[in-house]
Amino acid sequence: MHRIPIELLTKAAFSPFGEVIETDFVDAIVINEGFALRVNNLAQIDVAADAGAVDISLFVAKARQRPIKVRIMERHPLGSQMFLPLQERSWLILVCVDPLIPASYRAFEASGRQGVNYARNTWHHPLLVLYDDERFLVVDRKGPGNNLEEVRVDDPIELAGLDFGL
């Protein structure tokens, strides 16, 4: 069994796999007579391949049994996929360059104030939350074509260091 350590999510560490979405350290515009702030350009949504369109969804996820064993990875060849938590609790992100090469995996702990936009063709694990009923705003592609490729992991990979805040 290969164990993957969990790193804190940063823009620099995640850049090979897509974008980190966070509003800290960005300029906001005051709107609605001063009663709201608007933060623009949080992510570059990539869905135009093969006549795709933007799809906005709400996911409600359950925590997985611990220790978390990775058995499947997926990617989306026709568009990016963005996850933005709707609560302020940590959640996990698992990505890799090649699902058949355990050394290519990286795991990240995101704060409840961070989202990610997986770049097109980035291998990632389906949504990994630490608590039941976690809600996420998801922006991805809808339209013609197959935008999901899955690979089963024969030798399960385990996420290490899941003892934070639990």
pLDDT digits (tens, 9 = 90+) for 72-89: 999 999 999 999 999 999
Is the residue at 20 inside a domain? Answer: yes
pLDDT digits (tens, 9 = 90+) for 47-72: 988 899 999 999 999 999 888 989 99
Is the residue at 130 inside a domain? Answer: yes
Task: Please list the residues that pair with 81 across neighbouring strands.
Answer: 118
Is the residue at 63 inside a domain? Answer: yes
Q: How many domains does the chain have?
A: 1
Task: Answer whether 90's CB lies under 8 Å from 6's CB.
Answer: no
Is the residue at 76 inside a domain? Answer: yes
The whole-model pTM stands at 0.91
Is the residue at 148 inside a domain? Answer: yes
Question: What is the residue range of 50's domain?
Answer: 2-159
Task: Answer whether 117's CB lies under 8 Å from 93's CB.
Answer: no
Query: Which tokens is 160 given?
Result: 């290490």
Please state, in angstroms and rounded to a whole number, the distance separating the CA atoms of residues 85 and 111: 9
Is the residue at 125 inside a domain? Answer: yes
- Report the CATH number that the domain containing residue 38 is assigned in CATH: 2.60.120.480
Confidence of residue 166 (pLDDT cuts 50, 70, 90): very low
Is the residue at 165 inside a domain? Answer: no
> Which secondary structure element, helix H or strand E, spans residue 11, and what is its range?
helix 11-14
pLDDT digits (tens, 9 = 90+) for 144-160: 999 999 999 988 888 88
- Closest by CA position to 70, among listed 115, 146, 6: 6
> Terminus-to-terminus CA distance in the chain, angstroms?
24
Is the residue at 164 inside a domain? Answer: no
Q: Is 14 helix (H, G, I), strand (E, B) or coil?
A: helix
